[in-house]
Amino acid sequence: MYDPAQLRSIHLSRFGDEPAIFAAPGRVNIIGEHTDYAEGFVMPAAIDFATLAAISPRADGKVVLYSENYAEQREFEASSLPAERSGHWTDYPLGVLAVLAGEGHTIPSFSLSLWGDVPLGSGLSSSAAIEVATALAVTALIDVGYPRPVLARLCQRSENEFVGSSCGIMDQFISANAAENNALLLDCRDLTFRLAPIPASVALVIANTMVQHAITGGEYTSRRAQVEEAAAVIARHRPEVRFLRDATLDDLERYGSEMSPLALKRARHVITENTRTVAAAEALIHHDLKELGRLMAEAHVSYSQDFEASCEEADAMVELAQDLPGLIGARLTGGGFGGCTVNLVEQQHAREFAAALGQRYAARTGIIPQIHICHASGGANRVQESIQAVT
């Protein structure tokens, strides 16, 4: 649960000024991993977890950032903000400010309070939620309006160029553009999308393995490099192929011997995952939940074996869900190497499913997981004063 009224009270007490409050959700990716930076397809949904940003103007030339989660405040001169990351949580809002400044906007003096309940390092995109909430708050303060796809791209740039993470566009896009009760099939090439309704009879059960990942780490970066290596090999023979979005399994048959074995495996995952993701959206649109579940299962095997971005705990979480009542499909979600699994479950069985999966996982691994029953939420927005709490 996140509580705008509580953040308003915190901000008012700390800074003495009435804030405007914005919320940006985290996300769960139902299918389509490591396809976004290959200009492919992804199918995420926003979830109930979010980051809140409370902002108010100042008159002393300072930008003051406060995190309720870290119980820490940092001050900067608005006219000379840091030009590079420091490895601190402030990198995420400062990165947004750096990109906005690069777009020609003068960064004013303000106080910004952040608070969120998106679990850090869980694969539910806490960083994108911070970026989008910050961007909405600051652009509102300076009275600048960006179309939501453009805002998402600016936030992606802040993470790529300032924070130093080579993430694709998916996380920021779904946080900014989500529609309640829908997944979103996003074409990462041109940012067009289709909504795929999630039936009211289906719950999103998110199971946190409690194994944290960091997408600024070496594993994520090496996987992306291997994907790009494979695309470059194919492009030598087919110059029109700039990204694996345009490649086929036939290309791997023809030119795979010119790639490193790891690049070949990564490419096979990305190419087949693109096909699965489009098929999964069609299955959801046509209410073919059996086919959706089959595609999710296939996607997890590919993610674990070809992309090698799973881990023992995540594989166990997926395995242990398979024979539980109500399961439609289960797979590891997010950047990989830990984090959460997403389980589509018949709503009537969701609580029983969550309890049983938690017990099984704890017995298998000795780790007590966090398991949440969620629904697909709407995208980032300004929080109305009348809203007291959102669950």
- Cα 330 from Cα 349, distance rounded (Å): 15
Around Cβ 340, how many Cβ atoms within 10 Å?
28
- Cα 113 from Cα 19, distance rounded (Å): 9
Containing H/E element for 34?
none
Pick the catalytic residue from 36, 48, 91, 171: 171
Around Cβ 363, how many Cβ atoms within 10 Å?
9
Specify the length of the chain in residues. 391
CB 98 within 8 A of CB 80: no
Q: Where are the beta strands (DSSP E) in 188-302?
A: 193-197, 202-208
Residue 124 in tokens: 């539910």
- Cα 157 from Cα 261, distance rounded (Å): 31
Containing H/E element for 38?
none
User: Is 171 an annotated catalytic residue?
Assistant: yes
Residue 339 in tokens: 């984090």
- Cα 158 from Cα 156, distance rounded (Å): 5
Strand pairing category for 62-67 and 110-116: parallel
CB 364 within 8 A of CB 320: yes
Residue 107 in tokens: 């960064």
- Cα 266 from Cα 229, distance rounded (Å): 10
Q: For residue 259, which of 224, 225, 233, 236 has the smallest C-alpha distance?
A: 233
Catalytic residue set: 171
